[in-house]
Amino acid sequence: MANVAYINKLKKEFVVVPPEHIIAGTTLKKVVENYVKPILIQEKNLIEKVVTRYFTVEEVLQEAGEFISFGGDKVLPILSINNQKVGNGERGEICKSI
């Protein structure tokens, strides 16, 4: 099982699904606590905040600069959904840096 997050490119948000009906993943928790908050938000100012909420596929396709899957010890980009590119269809800067 994997958790996902997307980067809202306009609002500079790291958007994650609430862990109410899924296992709160340790990989995602570690990334948020050890990288997103101290590095992407505080140091580099690439992200303004972490937002926990449900989102739709349509939102991801319209708003996402990047869509990322977190599972086991893997952090992988999701480059397309239903044959539609997410962002520019390539692994983004944030996913590369995690």
pLDDT tens-digit readout, 73-94: 889 999 999 999 999 999 999 9
Indicate the pTM of the whole model: 0.89
Q: Which domains does the chain have, with CATH numbers?
A: 11-97 (3.20.10.10)
Mean pLDDT of 38-66: 96
What CA–CA distances, in Å, run from 84 to 8, 15, 21, 78, 80? 17, 20, 27, 11, 5
